[in-house]
Amino acid sequence: MQASLIESDDEHHWILLDHQVTQLLVDAASFRLQTWSMDASLEIRVAAPFTLHTAGGAARALDPVESEQLAPVLALMRRRVRSITATRRGELAVEFGDGARLDVAPHARQLAWEVQGGGALEGLAYRCDAGGGVPWL
């Protein structure tokens, strides 16, 4: 498999090999990015405000409900996804091959984010419900 899990009581850290963002989708309340490798796929859905850190270190706060703000996310297309980390508190970090990072915190009133794997990553599933907490299913 082209992924490995480093698991502790506080977080699940997945290191991904050969995963590249192949699709970005925007709807009225969220955006999704999908990755693909020869044997697996991964979908990450973000439905709460998040921070996009560029490879150069700049940070930009974005809200998927304000779809006009999501233009910087387009730069993630075809980027390699290096890792995803889900914490016990309900935080998500997605690290890209060029050093960019997407951080999502729990939201008090709504589902903040979801991660779902397919193929060799079937069974990889995380979800941060309203208020945060342990996201592993």
Q: Measure the CA–CA gap between 68 and 100, rounded to whole angstroms.
A: 20
Cβ distance 113 to 94 under 8 Å? no
- CA 114 to the chain's CA centroid: 8
The answer to whether residue 30 scores a pLDDT higher than 80 is yes
Contact present, 134 and 126 (Cβ < 8 Å): no
Domain of 37, in residue numbers: 3-128
Distance CA 48, CA 113 (A): 7
Residue 84 bridge partners (DSSP)? 14, 94
Residue 36's pLDDT is what? 87
The predicted structure's pLDDT at residue 1: 54
In a domain, 133, yes or no: no
Amino acid identity for residue 76 in this structure: L
**Residue 99 falls inside a structural domain:** yes
Q: Is residue 134 in some structural domain?
A: no
Instruction: Encode pLDDT of 64-89 as tens digits.
Output: 999 999 999 999 999 999 999 999 99
Does 21 map to a domain?
yes
Give tens-digit pLDDT for 1-16.
Answer: 578 999 999 999 999 9
Domain contains 135: no
Mean pLDDT, residues 44-64: 96
For 79-134, write each residue's pLDDT tens digit. 999 999 999 999 999 999 999 999 999 999 999 999 999 999 998 999 999 999 99
Contacts of 85 (CB under 8 A, 6+ apart): 11, 12, 13, 14, 91, 92, 93, 95
Domain for residue 137, yes or no? no
- Asked whether residue 82 is domain-assigned, the answer is yes
CA–CA distance, 128 with 28 (Å, rounded to integer):
19
pLDDT score of 123: 86
Q: How many domains does the chain have?
A: 1
3-state secondary structure of 1: coil
Q: What is the pLDDT of residues 16-28, one digit of tens each?
A: 988 999 999 999 9
Q: What is the CA radius of gyration of the chain?
A: 14
For the residues 41-47, what does the mean pLDDT come to?
Answer: 97
pLDDT of residue 137: 72
Question: Average pLDDT, stretch 42-68?
Answer: 96
Contact call for residues 127 and 111 (beta carbons, < 8 A): yes
For residue 67, is it within any domain?
yes
